[in-house]
């Protein structure tokens, strides 16, 4: 294995690791939204819940695409 291939493989692993951490962050956002919903009763709560869910699905989707493409 030459140097360029090793660097490329290392970068791919780091990118996937970073994206995995972002997926974990999106899951934490869901939990934070749930906790906030119990404390605050707001009219826009369903909208916020939907946005958080779409964000998590997008993060997981991009992570899966990165695994496939990288």
pLDDT along the chain (70 residues), means of 10: 92 97 97 90 87 97 96
Where are the extended beta strands (E) located within the chain? none
Predicted pLDDT of residue 69: 95
Instruction: Tell me how many domains the chain contains.
Output: 1
Residue in this structure with the two tokens 């090793």, named with its chain if needed:
6
Predicted pLDDT of residue 25: 98
Q: 65 is in which domain, residue-wise?
A: 16-69
Q: Which is nearest to 67 in space by CA: 20, 34, 32?
A: 20
Predicted pLDDT of residue 39: 87
Q: How far apart are CA 10 and CA 41, in angstroms?
A: 46
Predicted pLDDT of residue 1: 75
Predicted pLDDT of residue 49: 93
Domain presence at residue 11: no
Domain presence at residue 10: no
Domain presence at residue 6: no
Model-level pTM? 0.87
Domain presence at residue 25: yes
Domain presence at residue 58: yes
Domain presence at residue 34: yes
């Amino acid at each position: 294995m030459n140097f360029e291939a090793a660097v490329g493989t290392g970068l791919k692993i780091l990118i996937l690791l970073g994206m995995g951490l972002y997926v974990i962050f999106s899951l934490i956002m869901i939990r934070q939204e749930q906790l906030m919903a119990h404390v605050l009763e707001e009219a826009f709560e369903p909208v916020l819940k939907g946005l958080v869910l779409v964000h998590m699905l997008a993060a997981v989707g991009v992570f899966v695409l990165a695994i496939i493409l990288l």
